[in-house]
Copies of this chain bind each other. A is one copy, B any other.
Amino acid sequence: MSVAPADEEQLAGGNLVSTAVGAITQHIRTNELGPGDRLPSEATLSKELSVSRSVVREAFRSLATMRLIDLNVGKRATVAQLDHGAMSLMIEHGVHTAQININQVYDVRRTIEMRTSTLAALRRTDAEARIILGHAKAMETNFADADKVMESDLAFHLEIARASKNPIFSIIVGAFQGVSRQTWPIGWRSRASDAERHAMNRIHIELAEAILAGDPQAASQLMARHFDESAKALLAAGIA
């Protein structure tokens, strides 16, 4: 319940807020808190660290923006479930400030998702396999509504990451969703014909079936093909 007093002197970057952030994360660790567990109140921390409530607030808010903790008015702060929020903001920041380009995003996604499809084929539950196949089929069903196709596509990829049973993969795949929402329509439009678009949907379905069949090699290769063709389409659209 109390913050370890000896650890107050974090390797903080000069300002008190960093110190407070360190103290809070330290508190989580030393007390082995898990998602949902409550943190000390602002006033308590303020007293224990001998800093003003403002400093503690800024620390709490920072951790909340990163989704490491949850804040609720009236209630105490709680430890949060893992979430891709922070990484999403970071990736989008990188793209918007021209420090990351779309090809680099695609390369990372391809690398990660070849692995998630492999793992999904090995570890998916039947229910997960059905959901994945459902998303793939929804893309074809809603063919005329590009927005719905996109959302199903995103959900498809995320569900595969979930089925890999490694939350880090889910976070990374999730983190790219924001950027993907902006580039997806470009890829869709840049396909030369509806035939090509149907072909893309076909790959999704085959991939879902490979995962359902528990065939990791096939799943991985289909994912690679999917990304290669998407990259080609994007290239055709002039995204160097």
- Point out residues on A near B: beta carbons under 8 Å: 15, 17-18, 21, 25, 28-29, 32-35, 54, 57-59, 61-68, 71, 79, 81-82, 86-87, 89-94, 96-100, 104-105, 107-108, 111-112, 115, 119, 166-169, 171-172
**B-side contacts of A115, CB under 8 Å:** 107, 111
Known: A111-B111, A112-B111, A168-B94. A99 touches B82 (CB 8 A): yes
When C-beta atoms are compared, the residue in chain B nearest to A73 turns out to be: B15
Known: A100-B168, A168-B105. A66 touches B86 (CB 8 A): yes
- Per the bound structure, the CA–CA distance linking A112 and B116 in Å amounts to 12
When C-beta atoms are compared, the residue in chain B nearest to A118 turns out to be: B111
How distant is A221 from chain B, measured CB to nearest CB, in Å? 16
- Per the bound structure, the CA–CA distance linking A28 and B99 in Å amounts to 13
Tell me the number of copies of this protein.
2
**B-side contacts of A119, CB under 8 Å:** 107
- Per the bound structure, the CA–CA distance linking A140 and B15 in Å amounts to 39
**B-side contacts of A166, CB under 8 Å:** 104, 107-108
How distant is A121 from chain B, measured CB to nearest CB, in Å? 15
- DSSP class of A's interface residues: helix, strand, loop or mixed? helix
Other-chain contact of A90, B82, B100, B107, B169 (Cβ < 8 Å): B82
Q: Are B99 and A167 closer than 8 Å at their CB atoms?
A: yes
How distant is A113 from chain B, measured CB to nearest CB, in Å? 10
Q: Are A90 and B65 closer than 8 Å at their CB atoms?
A: no
- Per the bound structure, the CA–CA distance linking A208 and B226 in Å amounts to 32
**B-side contacts of A94, CB under 8 Å:** 82, 167-168
Q: Are A97 and B79 closer than 8 Å at their CB atoms?
A: yes
Known: A17-B61, A62-B62, A111-B115. A104 touches B168 (CB 8 A): yes
Q: Are B66 and A35 closer than 8 Å at their CB atoms?
A: no
- Per the bound structure, the CA–CA distance linking A168 and B34 in Å amounts to 29
**B-side contacts of A99, CB under 8 Å:** 34-35, 81-82, 167
